[in-house]
Structures are given as C-alpha cells and as structure tokens.
Homo-oligomer: A and B are copies of this chain.
Amino acid sequence: METVKVAVVGCGTVGSGVVDILLKNKTIIEKRTGRRIELSFVADRDFEKVKKLGIDESVIKRDGFDVIDSDVDIVVELVGGTTVAREIVSAALRNGKSVVSANKALFASYGKELFKEAENNGVAIRFEASVGGGIPVIKALNEGLVANRIEKILGIINGTANFILTEMTENLLPFKEALRIAKEKGYAETDPSYDIDGIDAAHKIAILSSIASGKWITVDDVYTRGIRDITPFDIEFANEFEYRIKLLAVAKFNDSGVEVRVHPAFLPESHILSSVEGVFNACLIEGDFVGPTLYYGMGAGREPTASAVVADIADIALGKGSSVPVQLFSEEENVCVRDPEDFTTCFYLRFTALDKSGVLSRISGILAKYGISIKMAFQKNIGFNGGVPVVMTTHVAPLRTVKEAVKEIDKLDVIVNPTFLCMIEE
C-alpha cells in the first residue's frame, strides 16, 4: 500500500481532532482509499499536550517551519491567522508539498497567490474545512455540480450568529442575553465581532462565490452587515407574519455579474433554510441543470472540522488536485462583481418614532418621494427605545434608494433612533 506522509502544523482544537481521526479511523481510511496516511510530523509549542494524544514522541516538533525541510508530502496548516500561516503555506508549496487548511481568512485574502504557487510547483491546496465545517460543500460545488452554471448560493454559514438568532427566536431574548448564552456555551468568542458582524460569513461566501464564478472574489466585494441591531420586537413581528430572521450569505450570478452579500434577512417559515437551527449550517446551491440542492451539517467544532481536513488529505493522497476550478489560476477576470448597493429586494423597515400624529404620513411621504412602494405599515403603542415602533415592509426596491430614503427619514425630528432595515428574501 502506498504511504503518504502528513504533517499537522498547529495542534490546537482542530489539529488534535485530525490526529484523533488519523489514529482512530486509520483502518477505515486505508480500506476506503487504498493509501496509508502516516502522521509523521506534528508541530505545536505545547509538547506535553500533543504527547497526550497518543502519538509517537519522535514526530512531535516545536517549530512548524521545520516542516519545510522534512520529507512529508502534505502539510496541514492549522496555525490560523494570515501571517505565520501564510509563510508556512507558501514555503511548503515552494518545497513541493501539498497543503490542506481550514483557514478561510488566508484563502479569502491570499487565495489567488497561493493557488498560483501551488500550480507552479505542481502541488495541490485543499480547504474544505474553511466553509461549513464538516459539510462537504466545497466538494459539492466544485466537483458534484461541475456541470452547472451556478445561479444562486444561499447560506447559513455562521453557527454563532445562527445560535444567537435561534435563542432570540425561541425564547424572545434580547440580543445581548442570547450572546451571553452563546459565550457561556463556548459558541462565541470573548470578542464576538468576527461572527456577529458577518465578517466570518463574508469570508466564507467570498470563497464559495469564487469557486462558483471562477473569479477571485474577496471580502471587500461582499456587502456585509451583522445581527447586533435585531431586537425581540423584530423577531416577534417576523414570527407573526410567518418569517424567520436569519443571518444569510447570498451570492447571485447572472449575465450582468455577481452579487455577494451577508446580512440578516427575513426568510419565509416554509423555506428549507428556516429550519436550520442553533449551531447548524446549511447551504442552498442552485445550478442551471441540477436545480436547488442543499447541504446541511455542523458548521464548526473540533470533530466536524477535522473530518473535512482528513477528507482533503485523502483526496490529495489519491492525487485529486486542488479544490478550486482550474480557471481560478488564470489571469482572466471576466466576472463583474456588482456594486453591493445596486441589488433590489423587498425590505422590512423598523422606525423608532415619537408617539405623535402625522408620523406615519411623514415617513410614507419620504418613501413615496424615492419611489419606494409600501406593502404593509404597522404602528404599535408600546414603549420602544424612547419612542414607539413603526414598521413597514416594502415592495422590491434598490438597497441604495432605500438607504437614501432612510437617511432622510432619520433626520426627521419625530424619529428618535436610527432605523433598522432588513432584507426580505422570498
């Protein structure tokens, strides 16, 4: 049986999961692939921690950079970040080693140069674990749906945000309380902004839309908004009209270009993504021939992420090459990323106004001036952030126009707090 030598650089949560799988499911993987995956280099500063995983002491190293001169075939980069990780990956590729990584920030920022480096050196990069944890969604998109022109991707791809929104929905909690619970359960970091401001999801949808379109799309191309402003009032309103509020990652592809965005959205209760609860992730991908397909599973965590990393190792061991379309190596840039504010959709607008007569007419007057047509209006006599809530849903309108109108409305003396706007995805 052919032996493939693997190095794990960075043996934290995911790294120790990878070691666990390679030890525990060694025989299964050998039988399935016909390859012996040999763990021959594990680098981490904490020697004792790694030793406890049950691997031979001789393979434990303190310096990840030593991997470059070693005889391993595949380097698994689990250092994280975009500085040291980038150096290690780049040096490994230059030295003829293939790379597996779960580092979405690295690929969303330096994907293009790293994949060129891999191509120039005849080696592969795979990064299944960077999106959707254990769900083989990159494989599905790049291989399973290879025959299709991808028309749309709709994803719930940040488990932390989805957990918070699920808590808020099920128990009508304020955002801060739901966030506290998420931290308590270990689902949110001490500084949770990466997850709750949509940045993590933006990295992931940048990667998915790059694969789908064949052009490198970076986080800067993604319109990004988080979930901090959502209140239990919005959740209740959504529920009443049979919607769920979800942090959605959206990519739409058509002849005029690509539209990529991450933001909270109203999703009909009957939509298949509405039933994705808690820390689960799901991605709906539509192709011109296959129609809609969905991929669902645990989007984070030690074991699921390690499962995806080992799948990549197996694919490289079997000579399957990189997990991006060949065209991403080329210089061609014929896909136009549309200005994120150009997109049109229906909106939910929640104003906070003084409880005075004429408020509704002044707000709707400004919306009318901008050509924004109101589907439903609703005012409730409850105290809300120093005013009363006034809610409107609109017919389809461009985001840019709605933002301009809201800006003007927010200047009215009867408006006491910035207006919350949310897309409605039908």
Contacts and interface: CB of A to CB of B under 8 A. Distances in A.
A167 B227 CA distance: 38
A334 B139 CA distance: 30
A254 to B, nearest CB: 14
Contacts of A135: 144, 290, 293
B25 A307 contact: no
Interface stretch (A183-191, A217-225, A317-325): A317-325
Interface string A302-329: 0110111011001100111100011100
Given A143-B139, A143-B314, A146-B310, A31 B327 contact: yes
A291 B34 CA distance: 24
B143 A136 contact: yes
A259 interface: no
Contacts of A32: 142, 146, 214, 325-327
A139 B321 CA distance: 16
A288 interface: yes
A55 interface: no
A139 B147 contact: no
A96 to B, nearest CB: 19
A325 B29 CA distance: 9
Given A291-B303, A297-B291, A314 B25 contact: no
Contact of A307 (B20, B29, B145, B314): B145
A376 interface: no
A28 interface: yes
A397 interface: no
Contacts of A232: none
A286 to B, nearest CB: 10
A172 interface: no
Residue of A136, A214, A289, A320 with most partner-chain B CB within 10 A: A289
Contact of A293 (B134, B291, B327): B134
Report which residue of A20, A134, A143, A292 has the largest number of chain B beta carbons within 10 angstroms of its beta carbon: A143
Given A134-B293, A287-B307, A294-B297, A321 B318 contact: yes
11 contacts: A21-B147, A21-B289, A29-B147, A34-B326, A135-B293, A136-B140, A136-B293, A140-B295, A272-B296, A289-B310, A290-B298
Task: Please list the 3 inter-chain residue pairs (A to B) with the smallest Cβ-Cβ separation, ordered nearest first.
Answer: A136-B144, A147-B310, A293-B297
Interface of A: 17, 20-21, 25, 28-29, 31-34, 128, 134-136, 139-140, 142-149, 214, 272, 275, 282, 287-298, 303-304, 306-308, 310-311, 314-315, 318-321, 325-327
